[in-house]
Amino acid sequence: MQVKINQQAKDFSGDPEMPLMWYLRDQLALTGTKFGCGTGLCGACTVHVDGKAVRSCVTPMGELSGKSVTTIEGLHPTGDHPVQKAWRAANVPQCGYCQPGQIMNAAGLLNEKKNPTDDDIVQAMQGNICRCGCYQRIFAAVKSAAKGA
């Protein structure tokens, strides 16, 4: 089957039950997608499939034929996506482990809602766990990115 990963066509002929996360990390060496819980609950592995944020640890490769996947490495070629800029401006990361998933989830929200309400942001981001507790800075960065800052 064919799938686009960061705008590049890839052929996949492995086990259709293989989680997307392992294909990205182990076969394509795209290690920005992080392993967290392995059950889709923490959000560290978040990527976009056709523009929507999904948990790659529970997304089987067999569901991706003909689809387009974007990882943190492909979000913007120089790291200047509005969410990435807002993250730097708000000095969001502490340890940084969850940040690729947080950024991809926030970018997914903004793909769906250009002007999210505070409740939209809280709802969309609550599935991403930050062990350092940077939630206030994460919220501020998402709000700033939504304004185009």
- pLDDT one-digit tens code per residue, 117-141: 999 999 999 989 999 999 999 999 9
Query: In degrees rounded to 5, what are phi and psi of residue 31?
Result: -90, 5
Domain count, the chain: 2
Taking a C-beta distance cutoff of 8 angstroms, is the pair 124, 109 a contact?
yes
Which of 30, 60, 75 is the endpoint of a domain? 75
pLDDT tens-digit readout, 43-93: 999 999 999 999 999 999 999 999 999 999 999 999 999 999 999 999 999
Place of tokens 């942001």: 121
Given a cut of 80, is residue 149 above it in pLDDT? Answer: no
Cα-only R_g, the chain: 15
Q: CATH number of the domain that 54 lies in? A: 3.10.20.30
Domain identity same for 15 and 70: yes
Range of the domain at 141: 82-146
CA atoms within 13 A on the CB side of 18: 14
pTM, two decimal places = 0.94
pLDDT at residue number 148: 81
Domain identity same for 88 and 60: no
The pLDDT of 5-28, averaged and rounded, is: 97
pLDDT at residue number 92: 95
pLDDT at residue number 64: 98
